[in-house]
Copies of this chain bind each other. A is one copy, B any other.
Amino acid sequence: MSTENARGPGGRSTVPNISDVAERAGVAIGTVSNVLNQPHKVTEATRVKVQAAIDELGFVRNRAARALAAGTSNTIGFVIIDLSNSFFLDMARGAEDEAEKAGMTVLLANSDLKDSKQTVYMNLFSEDRVAGILLAPIPNSFLVIDSAKAHNRRVVLLNDSLEAADSCCVMANNEHGGYLAAKHLIDLGRRNLVFAGGPDTLTPVHDRHMGAKRAVAETNGAVRLEYLPTREVTVVDGRRIGHAISSRSRARIPDGIIAAADLLALGIMQSILSETDIRVPEQIALIGYDNNRSAWDSHIPISTLSQPGFEMGRVATQLLLEEIRSPETHTHRRIILEPSLIARESTIGR
């Protein structure tokens, strides 16, 4: 039985290190480091010799030592408000995609809507001296980012500018999304619209509502827009709205509904279809927001606005990398990405 890869004299479990490799290959430590990091600075012969030693020993670099000595890391930390929302997961994918091109990797931390977790993970990445931090924050959580900045970390914000924060940020244009949704229905000839969603204190929902209003305003009174608030944006909230609409007299039933989220739209549609013989989209055209899977999986696929999650992740990573590479010339930017309309059966029929 070999003693390699086993326990050192201290009883502490041991893995081969650069010295072991150097010894085995009969070269100096610095040379091994060079074949690892600057292969071009080394003879092919020694490179091969060293590589052989590495393979035989099963050597793996120690990142801690590397980061310590080099003073830099090549990983990016991404603290995400809610991984169960595919919008945010898409951001993670975009970030990985972009980071990979730069030879960096992205580590994920799910704050799961909990302030405390967000704090823990931000601190973790600060202690880790990661190259930079991407943060899709919990609304109104300034302190955590101030603290990270104080610790000299570079952070880029996604989907929430946390107003005061002195960082780059990448946002989705919810106002424009709301505009596009309403415009879509108006272009389809709908004149009595409802905007369903809430609470209006939720910035994205509020912005979507404002956008819808703007589209309506452009018609100079030709189109009406009614606002039906909800507590949250779940299927259940949607059913409640759908039920309310179903109970109305024929004359007061809208011919177009903009839901602030797909789940809401789904609930609305379920209620209307089961409680009345109103047909979608003939009598009511319905559009949601988010491009949630439930929307295209529903029996009448629901039109929606697709958020640019992947793209946001990419752009945020680009900004972060730029800030890392040229900290002195870098100036913070705020980039706003547009959602795109996906028209499906619930508005345009088949």
Contacts and interface: CB of A to CB of B under 8 A. Distances in A.
Nearest to A93: B112
A220 interface: no
A143 to B, nearest CB: 13
B235 A127 contact: no
Contacts of A13: 152, 327
A237 to B, nearest CB: 12
Contact of A96 (B110, B297, B327): B110
Contacts of A124: 63, 75, 105, 107
Contacts of A67: 64
Interface string A58-100: 1011111111100101010000000110100100110010000
A108 B108 contact: yes
A5 B58 contact: no
Interface size class of A (residues with CB under 8 A): 35 or more
A208 to B, nearest CB: 21
Contacts of A89: 83-84, 110
Contacts of A64: 63-68, 73, 128-129
A265 B335 CA distance: 42
A233 B126 CA distance: 42
A108 to B, nearest CB: 4
Interface string A5-32: 1000000110100000000000000000
A86 B96 CA distance: 20
A107 B107 contact: yes
A294 interface: yes
A263 interface: yes
Give the most central of A66, A75, A151: most B CB within 10 Å: A151
A46 interface: no
Interface string A219-260: 000000000000000010000000000000000000000000
A141 to B, nearest CB: 18
Given A63-B127, A64-B63, A263 B297 contact: yes
A63 B120 contact: no
Interface of A: 5, 12-13, 15, 58, 60-68, 71, 73, 75, 83-84, 86, 89, 92-93, 96, 105, 107-110, 112, 117, 120-121, 123-124, 126-129, 150-152, 235, 263, 266-267, 270, 273-274, 293-294, 297, 299, 327
14 contacts: A12-B71, A13-B152, A60-B123, A63-B64, A64-B73, A84-B86, A89-B110, A96-B110, A96-B112, A105-B109, A105-B120, A107-B124, A270-B299, A293-B294
Task: List 8 tightest A-B contacts by C-beta distance, closest first.
Answer: A108-B108, A64-B67, A63-B127, A64-B68, A270-B299, A64-B64, A235-B297, A60-B151
Given A5-B152, A274-B299, 8 more contacts: A15-B152, A60-B151, A62-B129, A63-B124, A66-B127, A107-B108, A107-B124, A108-B109
